[in-house]
Structure 1
Amino acid sequence: MAKQAKYEGLLDSLPDSILCHILSFLPTRDAVRTSVLSSRWRHLFISSISKLDFKDCFKESRITVDRIGSFKKFVERTLVISDSSFYLLIAGDTEIGYPRWLISGCLVLEVLVLFHCFINGASELNIHGLSLKRLVLDFQNLVCKNDFDWLFVIDAPSLVYFKYFCRVGRGYALRNMESLEKADITIFNFNDVDRERSEALLRGICNVRVLHLSIIDHDAPLLRTPLDPVLAFNKLVELQFKNHCGFRNVSVTWIVEFLEFLHRTPNLKTFILDLADADRVFESLPEQVPSCLLYHLKEISILSFKGYTHMFKLVSYFQNHALALEKIVLSINVLRECPSSIIEKLLSLPKKSKKCEFVIC
């Protein structure tokens, strides 16, 4: 005991800067535990870390609603009193929910990652962060849930990156997203009920410059026809779209429907389209050509090109209307013909842009 007291005395004699440096080598959970040693140590750990990592703190065997409530208060209090930039990662494998999660009033939180946590039944995620630059909401454990009814309220004027990996929630109020540069949106189990709600999500990120959009295991088209006239992506310069049908026998008309979406992207320069689930034949393509295709698109990438007739038809559609097109990149997958035959067919297609070239990979 005397030796322990001696060591404790030595530690207490060290300046705060040295103690913070020592704490910086500890896992978040162990660094936080030092806050109970004395009043001096209560907030010392806050100056020692720039990343609050709680990915191992929630296990099904010990989590309770009361513990989640205490944890919420701890995180919010820590962020408010901190004076340095924070990366906050919260993850868990529990399905015990909390009726409302609120992160607000924090001037130092720059990165927030919520992964597999606090999801069960109707609830609300409310995030107000003036300094927040990156936000990741990754709830892919909800793929098989039928009761997801969350409301997402996000006010983040400094946000430059947003990732949403989840089912469609009950509603979205996304405000002050003018600084947004890139968004990665992946939606699971899409159906007719989700369509109008998903447009609210898209409207909230309409200022984005780069959008990667994926729809997985769906029963309905992504967008209503006609589209909401308010839904326009005037700043968008790069768009990537993937439609993954899984084992469902879904019509390939999603290609035609998504080409209609290009009418909402007037300044698009790069378009990446994944045809992994486009084996079924479509009969026609839109008669009205999007203005971005006519005047602005410079590069089109087609992933999982399998050499079907309707896929050649799609390439021909692009080439017949794209006046500014400089490059078409084709990622060939599951060849039905030899590569030289496919290349020969592609080169024989008429094109409007004289400087357009094919890149095969």
Structure 2
Amino acid sequence: MADIMSSFPDSILCYILSFLPTKDVVATSVLSKRWKLLWLSVTSMDFDHHDRMDFDKDACSRFLVPVYSFLLWRDMDQPLHRLRLRCCSFYNHYRVQTWIKAAMRRSGKLKHLDLNLDLFLAVPSVVFSCKTLVVLKLSHLMLSNISFVHLPLLKILHLNSVILTKCDDLLQHFLSGSPNLEDFLHSSIVVPSLVFSCKTLVVLKLANLLLKNIFFVDLPLLKILHLNSVSFSRDLDLLQQFLSVSPNLENLEVKNFNANAAEKFNRFSRLVRANIDAHLVPLENVKNVQVLVTDRICPKDLVFDLQNLVQLELTHVRLSKQWFEVLEVLQHCPKLQTLAIGIYEVNYYLLSEGHEGAVLPYPQPVPTCISLHLKTCVLNNYKGSGDELLFAKYILQNAKFLHIMKFFINIDTYETFWMNDRIRRDLFSCVKSSDTCELFFFMS
């Protein structure tokens, strides 16, 4: 077999190697004389300790020593563009800080820095004045005594579980010192007073945060907004602020949000995907989406049709009481192709012997989307109860173009489900409107 890769120039080989962990890159040095020194010219360094919770001091040292050595051996004429280090370094803070400083100093053209280390390791201040950085991701780290931020090319900033000490205004410095910032993810932290003003920001994701005070929000180009498990030290209309000044939103997620429900505001004409708690965001304002995930929809709120909706997920449905509501909702989704239902039941019953042929007593015509468009149906937390089985049969018997029916079975009832021959027999023997429909079962 011909060795195709040997015909590639060094620049192409180095580009391919840049996507591999550094230990695998170094291992290629044994392939041939040509490969022996090639790894020294790769512009990416990726070190990942196999176990971040390894508290063995010697094991951590054995990991970090070759990391520092690799940096010294690199070809100084070759720029370092990407640096990723993941290690739980409880015992080597000074060494890691020295290594980071050396990498910043020797690279000169670093574009991507990804550090996931230890909550009590302070990031060297030199990181925050790197004029070439485009991507900065910091996880499980301390940001201490940072009074100046100058990252003129930074486009992506992700802060996950970081501790701020003696730098309460740091996030404000990030926003003002990163004039080209487009993607900002911030999670697991207490945020002090902040002005959310960034003319270039396209993506904003906040999760597991306590916000003390937000004075002003101005995000004219924002397209993706995710607010998950955000709470406040006092009553704020933050959700209202975000939604009223983001006219270009295409992707909205608002979950577990401790705030007042948003008042009615101008609907988002460009919104494509929404993942919302129904009591927080009025359904009317997201009615043009193509993909919708929500805990539930009340039919009384649907005085309009969801004309563009092709994918719907209802995450919290009690089929024993709400199957009728689900079908009512589907009457307002004429183009729906994918339906997913998260089943929530405290008690459930199995169909008694002799009632396998029972059907849902739904008095109205079959929703158009089921009979003409539905291709995929997913039932999550399926236990095989009577109502669940009847609903599944209703879909199978009426969806003429159904391709896939998936059942995700709760792990606690998985064995019981498969031991009940009657439930399985009733599903597999059900007359299907679609000749191409397949049933799939998964444990969840």
TM class by shorter chain equals: 0.5 to 0.7
1:325 maps to what in 2? 402
The structure having more radius of gyration, on CA atoms, is 2
Q: Which amino acid aligns with 1:85?
A: E
Q: Which runs of 5+ in 1 are unaligned?
A: 1-10, 36-40, 188-193, 216-221, 245-249
**Offset at residue 242 of structure 1 (A):** 1.5
Residues 23 and 48 of structure 1 are in contact (CA less than 8 Å); yes or no, is this contact kept in structure 2?
no
What is the distance in 1 between the residues matched to 2:226 and 2:190? Answer: 17
What is the distance in 1 between the residues matched to 2:361 and 2:432? Answer: 19
1:85 maps to what in 2? 182
**Percent sequence identity over aligned pairs:** 19
From 42, 47, 51, give the equivalent of 2:157. 51
Residues 319 and 343 of structure 2 are in contact (CA less than 8 Å); yes or no, is this contact kept in structure 1?
no
Residues 279 and 308 of structure 1 are in contact (CA less than 8 Å); yes or no, is this contact kept in structure 2?
no
TM-score by length of 2: 0.55
1:60-87, CA deviations, whole angstroms, 9 ceiling, x for partnerless residues?
Answer: xx79xxx4xx5575455335xx135343
Instruction: Answer 1 or 2: higher relative contact order, Cα 8 Å, separation at least 6.
Output: 1
From 314, 327, 336, give the equivalent of 1:268. 336
1:131 maps to what in 2? 221
Q: Secondary structure at the match of 2:249?
A: coil
| RMSD of Structure 2 on Structure 1 (CA) | 4.3
What is the distance in 2 between the residues matched to 1:23 and 1:44? Answer: 15
2:240 maps to what in 1? 152
What is the distance in 2 between the residues matched to 1:157 and 1:251? Answer: 37
Q: Secondary structure at the match of 1:44?
A: coil
What is the distance in 2 between the residues matched to 1:234 and 1:228? Answer: 12
2:303 maps to what in 1? 229
Aligned pairs for 1:280-299 within 5 A: 280=348, 284-285=361-362, 287-299=364-376
1:19-56, CA deviations, whole angstroms, 9 ceiling, x for partnerless residues?
Answer: x7499688888358669xxxxx9663343573163742
Aligned pairs for 1:127-276 within 5 A: 127-139=217-229, 151-153=239-241, 154=243, 155-167=245-257, 169-172=260-263, 175=266, 177-186=268-277, 194=279, 198=281, 200=282, 202-214=283-295, 222-223=297-298, 225-230=299-304, 232-243=305-316, 252-276=320-344
Matched, 1:359 2:440: yes
Residues 126 and 152 of structure 1 are in contact (CA less than 8 Å); yes or no, is this contact kept in structure 2?
no
What is the distance in 2 between the residues matched to 1:316 and 1:25? Answer: 49
Residues 306 and 333 of structure 2 are in contact (CA less than 8 Å); yes or no, is this contact kept in structure 1?
yes
Greater shift in the superposed pair: 284-293 or 319-328: 284-293
1:313 maps to what in 2? 390
Residues 417 and 423 of structure 2 are in contact (CA less than 8 Å); yes or no, is this contact kept in structure 1?
no
Residues 252 and 278 of structure 1 are in contact (CA less than 8 Å); yes or no, is this contact kept in structure 2?
no
Shift in CA distance, 284/119, structure 1 to aligned 2, threshold 3 Å: farther
**Offset at residue 271 of structure 1 (A):** 0.6
Residues 297 and 322 of structure 1 are in contact (CA less than 8 Å); yes or no, is this contact kept in structure 2?
yes
Residues 125 and 152 of structure 1 are in contact (CA less than 8 Å); yes or no, is this contact kept in structure 2?
no
Greater shift in the superposed pair: 206-215 or 303-312: 206-215
Q: Which runs of 5+ in 2 are unaligned?
A: 1-100, 116-121, 131-146, 350-358
Q: Which amino acid aligns with 1:78?
A: G
What is the distance in 1 between the residues matched to 2:253 and 2:215? Answer: 15
Shift in CA distance, 274/253, structure 1 to aligned 2, threshold 3 Å: same
Shift in CA distance, 355/83, structure 1 to aligned 2, threshold 3 Å: closer
Residues 52 and 89 of structure 1 are in contact (CA less than 8 Å); yes or no, is this contact kept in structure 2?
yes
TM-score by length of 1: 0.65
Question: How many residues in Structure 1 have an aligned counterpart in Structure 2?
Answer: 301
Q: Secondary structure at the match of 1:352?
A: coil
